[in-house]
Every structure is written in C-alpha cells, then in structure tokens.
Structure 1
Amino acid sequence: MPLPADPAAFAADWPSTCIRDNMDKMYRFIKGKKPEVQMILYYNLYKDNLYDRLETTDLLCTEPQDVLSEGHRRIPEFWKPALSIKLGRSAHGVPAPLGIVHSSPGMEWRHTGLPPAEYRFWLSQIPAHGGSIWHSLTGIPETIGDKRILETVAALNRDVAKVEPYMDGAETLAQVALLWTANAAAEGWADGLINRQIPFDVLLEEQATPERLSRYKALIAPEGLALTEGMAAALASYAAAGGHVIAEGDAADDPAWRDLLGVRDQGAAGELLSAAYLRFEGTDNPLQVGLEQTELVALRGAVYYAQPTAETRVLATLVPPFAPLECVGAPPERASLPVIRTDLPLALHRPSGLGGFLYFPFSLSGMLNEFKLGEHYQLLANAIDLSLGEDKLVEVTNYQGLQLTLFERDDYVLVHLVNGAGRRPLATNLPLHDLSLKLRLPGRRVAGVRRLIAEDALPYSQTEDAAVIDIPKLEVWECLLVRTEAGDSI
C-alpha cells in the first residue's frame, strides 16, 4: 500500500475515513439483503461532508441538541435547529432531513425535561424550517417521570399534523443565500438574517453553481471564504444577471476578490481597532435607513484599508479611534474626536451588470457575534434591502428572537413564524402582539389567508403590489396558509 502524500493530514482524517468506510460496508450489506430498508445517517453543521453522507444513506438526520447542562454562558445559539435543517435541505433530491431533539437539558440530567417553554420553541424550529421532527425520550410514557415532556411532545405533534400535509413537496421561497463556511463569520450572518426575519437558504461552496445561484437575489460570502477561479467566474456571472454579492473582512486582500469588489491593488490589512466608528456618507444612503438619527455606528476589530475604483461608491467611512482603550473613560478632554472624518471606506458598492457587489472591509459578522447591537442588525438588514431592491417579497414587524420562513407549492404560500423572544433558556413563552406582515408575490393575487395551527381565517388587505396580513397574537409557532391565484399583481 503506497504511503499517503501528506501523512499528517491522513492521520487527522483517519477517524472520519474509518466511519465512512464502515458506513459504506453497512449500507451495501443492507441494500444487498433488503433494498427497501432505509438507512439513516447523521450529519453535522460543522466539520462534516454532506455529500459523503449521501453516498451511503437514504435519509439524513441531525441532532441539534439544546444542551443546558453546560451552563448558561455556553447555552446553544437560538438558531441551532433552524440552521441545521437548512443545511440538510440544501441537498436536493433527498427527503427532508430529520431533526432529533432530546427532551432533557443534558445527558447528565436525562431523566428530567427541558423547561417546557424552551422545549416547545426548540422543537417548533424543526418543522418550521422544513424538517421532520424526531423525538428522543429517555423511557416510555409509563416510565417517564417528568410528564411535562409528554404534554409538550403531544402538543407539538398536534401542530405538526395540521401543517405537514401542506409542507409535503413544498419548496423554500428565499431570495437570499448564505454560503455556509462553518465558521464564526457564517454564524454571525445566520444570526443576523434570522433575527431580522429575512428568509434565506444555506449553500455549501460546491453547491454555488450558476444554476443554483440564479434563484437568489442576494448571496452572502462570509469572512474567510477562499475564492477559487471557478467561484470568481460564477460570482461575476451571477452579478451580471442581477444578483448582489455581499462580502466582508479582508476579502480584498485576495486579487480574485479585488476585481469583483471594485477596489485597487493598493490595499493593506490594519491592526485591531477599538473606540472607532463607522460614518455614513452622502444623502439618500441606502445603508442608513432606520439610522438617520445617528451619524456614528460602533466599530471594533480589524479593518482592511481598500481604495475604491472610479465605478465604486463609498457608502460609509472610518472614524479612527479617539483614544486608547484604557483611556476612553478618562476626563472630557479625552472624549473629543481628533479626527471626525476620513476617506477610508467601510462600505463600498460596485454596480455590475444588472446586479453588483457590496463590500464591508471589516467583520460585520464579528460585530454581531460579539455585541448584538441593534445598529449592526439594522445595517445587515439595509444591506439586504439594497440587494433586493423593489423585489423584496416579505417583511414583518421586527422582534429579536422571531423566526420567519417561506415555502411555496402550487397555488399557495406557507409563512412559518416561530417565537423565541426572551432570555434563554425560556422560562415562559412571551406572546407577540399585533404583527403586521407584508407579502409581495408578483403575478399572483392572494385569495385567502388561514392560520393552520389556530385553525381560523385572518383578515388581509391588498395594495397595488402587496398583501398586508395582520396577526393579532403569536404564541410559539404558527403557519399561515396564503392561497393565491393568477393575476397581474397582488
């Protein structure tokens, strides 16, 4: 047997190689005996290869456990089930992934249950994002001592039974795609998109083909994405056809990115900054919507100092640190800004064909991960709105912790709303009141709106190009069935 070219890499991959080989043998043995028997394999959000799994399985499953036993400071992110299911659905031609949720707050406490409010919220994300729920319980009903578990599972199953017939065969209706790089930057973008109720699909790098990209109006390339020659060509064609690419961080340090982003070769990565700001530039700035009353947005971290080409518009610039971090709380003479404006870009927009490229030469995802300030969420939402323009399909009253997904099939659209508002782990479910949802479906008119879980009709009004639906109250999970018919406009 020849030695591997890179023994260290081979050794590091040895466990996964063993698993893959064993699963392959098991799969072929099962299919040789009884082809109709279905084999199920796990996949993971991180350090996994979805297509390796698909070679030796019929069904994919994921286990986004809500492990609370590791302590509040290490609580899983609220979007973990949602993102896990989105990743599984990115593989076309296979059934919807199974989402396994264990009822306990951790295996060391597996004989008691998650707080019911937290449990219900966690479970609801699986079907709301297009997965099939798979309950994991320790014991059988007669031996489970925490009867709250059974009540929560039974309630969720009743809701799923009302929604599932309509979800069968439905496809996601998302205008935004997030390239999943399985790093902190991708997590930050996912957090921002979900918290701003922006429907999105997850794509792996190998899935970002011209055919797949053509269905999206905006594509997010998180910091750290290495751009191959093929990917660069695909992004150029995508923008020319009307798509917008959003990039961040030191992407422009790569010559392949520079040409796309509209920056010159003379650039440099800077040191970490603190006590710095982002300043919006120009009038009618699309990135300043909702932030008109503030001229500065907090900034920390590394900045890539890029020089725009003539065709690139600068939408925001850097206000450099006003003091060393250890002196920012010193007397007033240290509080003035020695430099109130520079020409160092922090947001650049380059039109390209029918679309374009939007570049943040700092880590917007890092700001979201670290600080979770409303201004950074608004900046993300404005970047998406700039990309979608007048083609934006949906908007809803914004609440932190509210999740929204869209699916469509034949003559209807499904709008899932999952309420995770409040400090986690959720001790109570805090109802959201008086939500207003605006839905735009070009070429179709709304013929009726019904809440599948509450089992009642909802009133709606129609403008020239959209339908506005008022939702009086949202408890945990609701699915709106929006029936449509052909028409010049909604």
Structure 2
Amino acid sequence: MSGLWWQEPFRMFQTNLRETDAGLDVEEVLDYLVEFGADTWLLSVGGILSNYPTDLDFQTRNPYLAQRASGDLVGDAVKAAGRRGIRVMGRMDFSKIDHRRAEQHPDWCFVDAAGDPQVYNGLTSVCPSGDYYQVKLFEVLDEVLDRYPVDGFFCNWMSFNEVDYSRVYRGVCHCLACTRRYAAYAPGETLPEGKDSPGYETWQRFARDVLADLTGRIRDHLAERRPEAPLVLGDRADIVFHEANNAVGRPLWHHRTSEHVSAAKSYRPEVPVLTNSVAFVDMPYRMAGEEPHHFAQYLVQAIARGANPSTYIMGTPRDNPYECLAVAGELTRFHRDHHDVYRELVPAAGTLLVRPDQFKSGATAEFQGLYLALLQRHVPFDVLPEERLGAIDLGRYGVVVLPDLGPLAPEIAPALDRYCVAGGAVVATGNSGVVAEKIQLQCLPARRRLASHDTEESVRSLHLRDNGSDSDVVPVVGRFNVVEPSPTAEIGWRALSRAPYGPPEKCHGHLELEHPGRLRAPYGQGRAVMLPWTVGRGYREVGLTAHRELVIAEVLWAGAQQVATGLPEQVEIVLGRSAAGRVIHLLNRSGDADQRFAEPLPIGPSWLELPDPDVAEVQALRAGVRLPVVDGRVKLPVTERFEALVF
C-alpha cells in the first residue's frame, strides 16, 4: 500500500513501563514527546502485563491500573495522543508468563535438556514453538485491535531464550513442540543441548526459521486486520528493528549501530529501519544514564545510514531524566527539521562489505578489521549479511569484499562469478570460497589450496614481503593458505619462511618462498583479488597501518571509489541518496576511545571532492550554510559531532 505513515521518516520515544507506572500522567508525557521532537510513542500494552482491562484469562491485568480513574492506560494514551497528532504503537512481550499459567499450560513453556523450566523473578519463559506464541499471541493482538486504533506493534524478546536476564546460559529448548518441529525439520538428528553440542548450527537455523515464519504470520495478520498498523521486528516485518545498547562486560564495537542499519538497508533499501537507542547503561543498571557522547553515536550513526531514530527509557521522563536525553532531543529535532533529507534515504556506496554468517566463528575479527580499513581510508561502503548475498542485485556495486567467509552456500559462488564476468570485482580474504583443497569461486586466480596454516603456532613468525622490497614486510596473524596460482595470476607479497623467534641469538633464517600473499587477475569483464590470509584480522588485532594500506591498495586496484578529501581518518564518510538529492554524512569519530565514546574534537576546516563534478553548491545542514563548489571541490566548515551535506 502507498501512503502508509511509516514509509515517511518518523521519530519514536519508548517508555518501557514498570507495573507501578500505570498511573502516569499521559498529558505530561505527551508534552515531553512534542518538545523532544518525537511523533510516535512506543507504549507498553500487553503480554506479561496488560495495561488495559483485558478479558483474556491468560493475560494479567496490571493491578496498578486501579490508580487511574478510567482503569485503562492504553485507552487514555491513545485518545490523548490522537488529539496531539502523536501515534501510539503497542509494545508487547510474550516471552514469559506467571506461575499460575505456567502450571496450567506447561506445553507453552521453555524446557531445558534436563526437563526443567526457565524461571526468572517468578516468571516462566515461553517457547516460540508452543501455542502461547503460535495461537494465543494472535488473540491478544485481536483484543487490542478491537478496542484501540493503535498505530503498530513491537514484540519484545521474541526469541528462543537460551540466555536469561542474568546472562546465564540455559541451553536449547526441549519442549514437546520443539521436539516435534525439529524432528520434521532435521529428520534423524537429535536436538542439541547447547552451543557446544553437535548439530547446534542446524538448530540455530531451525530457530531462525521458526521465528521468521511467526514474524511473517503476525505481519500478515496485522495487514489483514489493520493495514496501517505496521509490525516492528525482524527482516520479514514492516519495519526492521535494531536496539542500540551498551552492556556491562561486553567489549564495545564502536560501529555496531552503523553496521546493523547498513546490513538492513543494503538488503532491502525501501524497508524502514528503526534504531531504538537505550538511554541507560544496562538493564541491571537502568537507573544510570548512558554517557551523552556515547548515546549521541547511536542516533548519528542511525540517521546517517537511513534509519529512523528512537530513544528508549525506563519508566517516565519525570522519573528518569537521564542526562543523555538533552543530546537525544537535539538530534531527534534535527531529524524532524530535515524531514525531506531523510525521506527515502538509501545507501549509495560503490563497495559492498559482506558480514560473515553468525554461525561462522572466527570471521568477526577479519570483518571488523576490513571495516575499519575501508572507513579510515575513506572508501565508502555498505554492509550486507552473508546469508543475503543471493537476494540482492550485486550490480549495484563495483566491488564486493569477502572477509574470510569460508565455504559459501552452493548458489552464492556462481552468483559471484556471474557478477565478476559482467564487470564487477571481488576481493576475497582468508578462507573465502575455499572448501578443503577446492576453490569454489572460479573468478579467484588460484587453482587449489595446497595447505593451510590456521593455528596460532603455525603462523607465528610468518611474514609477507612485497616483491622487490626489503622494507615492506607485514606479519601474518590468524590464517595463511598456501595456494597454487592460476596461469593468469599476478603475484605479490611472497611469504618468508618461519624461523626461530627466541632466544634472540637464534632469530634468523627467514627465506623467501614461492607462496603468494596476494593474487590478482582479470575475469570476464571484471577482476578478482585473492588475499589467502587474514589481513583484516591482522589489522584489527595488531593495528599496523601496513596491513590497512595493503588491503586498501587491492580494493582500489579492483575499482573501489575512494573519496578525495583533506579530512583525517577519524572522519567517516557515508554516501546516500534521498528525496532531497545526494547526501553525504561526515561522522566525527575522534571520540572513539577504549570502551567508550568521548567528546569528539572539532575537525577542520577542510575540503572534499564531490562524486558529481557538475554540482555548483552544497548545503551543510549542521553548519546551516551553503557552500560553493569550485572545480569539483567544496571547502568544508569545522565538523563537530557530524555534518550532513546535501546536493
């Protein structure tokens, strides 16, 4: 359907309500949302607790609704918001039920391999395979739809709860519904007990398929009942959901929000993405607000990649006035004030970086190292999940980068070969497209793999040296494959044999070998590069710019677009297209620090060469100025947190 509200840019604010918040002042919250710049309110509606007078026996009415004269928070909120032009979306949580209902319906509940349920704070986890999700969820949606003109739904924590709120691993569900479904899905295989069990990867695919099917059924149900009410959830929903959050004890990947938004928008550019940004540090520390500079990165990275911004708090703004909400409001209003710039904003980079399948362990460091290399050297790129490689038109990109992906799905290798024949370029690192001795990708300039060094000890002391150079030497970290070059391959960066590395008196004996560290060749109308080692992991874990420059040289040889600019590597350049024209976001990453985001340092003035030489003028939205273009270049004002250029 055309004209649906969520196809336009929107801005959400979520109040994740405790049961004691049922008496909140609706008008006060709406006043706050209007000032904040939000036009959509994500409100806790039903599931674990119903914030309306439900008549369904398997739902629990919030006892604190008695604080309201109407006894109905949802009804009051929807009516008041409608008068203010604010949309209300229903947050639903079907992941748990209370003790009474768990006793009445054990067939709805998660059961571990020992036959025990998963109980946390008196609530029992529910399994998505069972009838609570498969049947009763739809009855709740119907009751809400029958009573209120809600503007959409979000289902929280709709997953197989292998991990509880305390991050304790509880294993794979063994309820009767899972047992039956899995037997049909993987005949002859036994349900694994946990992530270390044989068959766990098969079970992960099973779980993903069950959730995708359920998501599709919910979406279809809502489309039939209330087409103007979207579902916010996974890839099959109307709006793709990403929660940007922090967590105590989790290493910080500074680019997580950009990566996830890009992965969704590259797959289906026309489908809206919602980045729900958590304003507190972690669920156990929900009273402590997030560092403002950290929180700002959630929203800046989200809008630059084309997502709709959302701010998520516990309780109400009165009860939890987190310090980061000031910058959250500033950025939300910026998005509101430039509605046309963010309308239909889609990615427009010429390079595609493939994100390894979540089931493949060890490839994350390679992906992240290549991510950092491209970003820092101003090669704009989009991210695509590996499992989506066969679902998009690769012709949108000039170069596809494959970071140590290992064996490829049977249909993917031929698709990449066809892409290369037609004029595209492939840059493959590590084990990408390698199965045993076989090279799956015909475009790669190697006949076969002869041997693999893939343990820490087997690559220790292994170096690569650029042809004809005594000084250009890089260490190999992670993995190195010995491959037989094809006759057309141009070979570079030969291996030096390993030698003793201690004591110092014995540290000699490195000899140049025939083993190539880089192979290039044309293929059809395109070209391919093979780096049969984990150069990205080397950069991620060691930080040598020699690793970065090596891989960037190959990506540029393959035909990648590099933006000519005087900006330093601490500025990320994101290319997009929207209803307003070409859009370039400049993200100041100088505040990226160890396990945090600090206040970024002002950068500039500087210059940037535009991809379109015929542009006469550029509008800098944050600076609020129009910039003349001379000989294809624009002089940039100082970039503080970020800048958005429109032309």
Instruction: Go from structure 1 to structure 2 and tell me whether the alpha carbon gap of 1:11 and 1:303 turns closer, same or farther (over 3 Å shift).
Output: closer
**CA contact under 8 A between 1:418 and 1:477: conserved in structure 2?**
yes
Given the alignment of the two structures, is residue 414 of structure 1 paired with residue 583 of structure 2, yes or no?
A: yes
Shift in Å, 1:247: 0.8
Given the alignment of the two structures, is residue 126 of structure 1 paired with residue 307 of structure 2, yes or no?
A: no
Q: Equivalent residue for 1:64?
A: 244
2:448 to 255, 258, 265: 265
Residues 109-134 of structure 1 show CA distances to partners (whole Å, capped at 9, x for unaligned) of 22222222222223210001111111
Equivalent position amino acid for 1:58 in 2: D
1:309 to 454, 463, 486: 486
SS at match of 1:345: strand
Q: Equivalent residue for 1:158?
A: 333
Shift in Å, 1:93: 6.5
Instruction: Go from structure 1 to structure 2 and tell me whether the alpha carbon gap of 1:174 and 1:116 turns closer, same or farther (over 3 Å shift).
Output: same
**Cα distance in 1 between the residues matched to 2:297 and 2:549:** 25
**Cα distance in 2 between the residues matched to 1:179 and 1:190:** 10
Given the alignment of the two structures, is residue 437 of structure 1 paired with residue 629 of structure 2, yes or no?
A: no
Shift in Å, 1:24: 5.0
**Cα distance in 1 between the residues matched to 2:286 and 2:449:** 58
Residues 294-346 of structure 1 show CA distances to partners (whole Å, capped at 9, x for unaligned) of 4212322321111212210002111233423xx1xx44x4444x235222100
**CA contact under 8 A between 1:121 and 1:419: conserved in structure 2?**
no
Equivalent residues in 2 for 1:55-204, closer than 5 Å: 57-67=237-247, 69-70=248-249, 74-92=250-268, 94-146=270-322, 148-182=323-357, 183-184=363-364, 185-204=366-385
Instruction: Go from structure 1 to structure 2 and tell me whether the alpha carbon gap of 1:89 and 1:375 turns closer, same or farther (over 3 Å shift).
Output: same
SS at match of 1:307: strand
2:226 to 22, 34, 38: 34
Q: Equivalent residue for 2:417?
A: 236
Q: Equivalent residue for 1:46?
A: none
Instruction: Go from structure 1 to structure 2 and tell me whether the alpha carbon gap of 1:334 and 1:315 turns closer, same or farther (over 3 Å shift).
Output: same
**CA contact under 8 A between 1:454 and 1:478: conserved in structure 2?**
yes
- Is 200-209 or 58-67 further displaced after alignment? 200-209
**CA contact under 8 A between 1:434 and 1:473: conserved in structure 2?**
yes
Unaligned runs of 5+ in 1: 44-49, 283-291, 483-490
**CA contact under 8 A between 2:346 and 2:578: conserved in structure 1?**
yes
**Cα distance in 2 between the residues matched to 1:12 and 1:93:** 26
SS at match of 1:343: strand
Equivalent residues in 2 for 1:91-490, closer than 5 Å: 91-92=267-268, 94-146=270-322, 148-182=323-357, 183-184=363-364, 185-205=366-386, 207-209=388-390, 212-251=393-432, 252=434, 253-257=436-440, 259-265=442-448, 267-270=450-453, 272-281=458-467, 294-324=471-501, 327=502, 330-331=503-504, 333-336=505-508, 338-388=509-559, 392=561, 394-397=563-566, 399-409=568-578, 412-422=581-591, 423-424=593-594, 425-441=596-612, 445-462=614-631, 467-482=632-647
Shift in Å, 1:86: 0.7
Equivalent position amino acid for 1:278 in 2: L
**CA contact under 8 A between 1:349 and 1:356: conserved in structure 2?**
yes
**Cα distance in 2 between the residues matched to 1:449 and 1:12:** 48
**Cα distance in 2 between the residues matched to 1:133 and 1:210:** 27
**Cα distance in 2 between the residues matched to 1:435 and 1:103:** 33
Higher RCO (C-alpha 8 Å, min separation 6) = 1
**CA contact under 8 A between 1:162 and 1:452: conserved in structure 2?**
no
When the two structures are superposed, what TM-score results if normalisation uses the length of structure 2? Answer: 0.63
Instruction: Go from structure 1 to structure 2 and tell me whether the alpha carbon gap of 1:31 and 1:295 turns closer, same or farther (over 3 Å shift).
Output: closer
Instruction: Go from structure 1 to structure 2 and tell me whether the alpha carbon gap of 1:104 and 1:393 turns closer, same or farther (over 3 Å shift).
Output: same
Residues 250-289 of structure 1 show CA distances to partners (whole Å, capped at 9, x for unaligned) of 344452436432223361113521223221125xxxxxxx
**Cα distance in 1 between the residues matched to 2:391 and 2:271:** 24
Instruction: Go from structure 1 to structure 2 and tell me whether the alpha carbon gap of 1:66 and 1:380 turns closer, same or farther (over 3 Å shift).
Output: farther
Instruction: Go from structure 1 to structure 2 and tell me whether the alpha carbon gap of 1:355 and 1:153 turns closer, same or farther (over 3 Å shift).
Output: same
CA RMSD of aligned residues (A): 2.8
**Cα distance in 2 between the residues matched to 1:165 and 1:410:** 6
**CA contact under 8 A between 1:27 and 1:39: conserved in structure 2?**
yes
**Cα distance in 1 between the residues matched to 2:437 and 2:343:** 43
SS at match of 2:576: strand
**CA contact under 8 A between 2:478 and 2:534: conserved in structure 1?**
yes
**Cα distance in 2 between the residues matched to 1:14 and 1:265:** 33
Equivalent position amino acid for 1:281 in 2: N
**Cα distance in 2 between the residues matched to 1:159 and 1:468:** 26
Equivalent position amino acid for 2:516 in 1: P
**Cα distance in 2 between the residues matched to 1:426 and 1:211:** 34
**Cα distance in 2 between the residues matched to 1:7 and 1:24:** 27
When the two structures are superposed, what TM-score results if normalisation uses the length of structure 1? Answer: 0.82
**CA contact under 8 A between 2:437 and 2:450: conserved in structure 1?**
no
Shift in Å, 1:217: 0.8
Shift in Å, 1:66: 2.7
**Cα distance in 2 between the residues matched to 1:259 and 1:93:** 30
Residues 134-181 of structure 1 show CA distances to partners (whole Å, capped at 9, x for unaligned) of 1101233322243x2231112112322344311212332111112222
Instruction: Go from structure 1 to structure 2 and tell me whether the alpha carbon gap of 1:413 and 1:402 turns closer, same or farther (over 3 Å shift).
Output: same
Identity of aligned residues (%): 21
Mark the structure with the bigger radius of gyration. Answer: 2
Shift in Å, 1:386: 0.9
**Cα distance in 1 between the residues matched to 2:281 and 2:635:** 36
Number of matched residues? 442
Unaligned runs of 5+ in 2: 1-179, 192-198, 358-362
Equivalent position amino acid for 2:461 in 1: A
Shift in Å, 1:213: 1.0
Instruction: Go from structure 1 to structure 2 and tell me whether the alpha carbon gap of 1:315 and 1:397 turns closer, same or farther (over 3 Å shift).
Output: farther
Equivalent position amino acid for 2:448 in 1: D
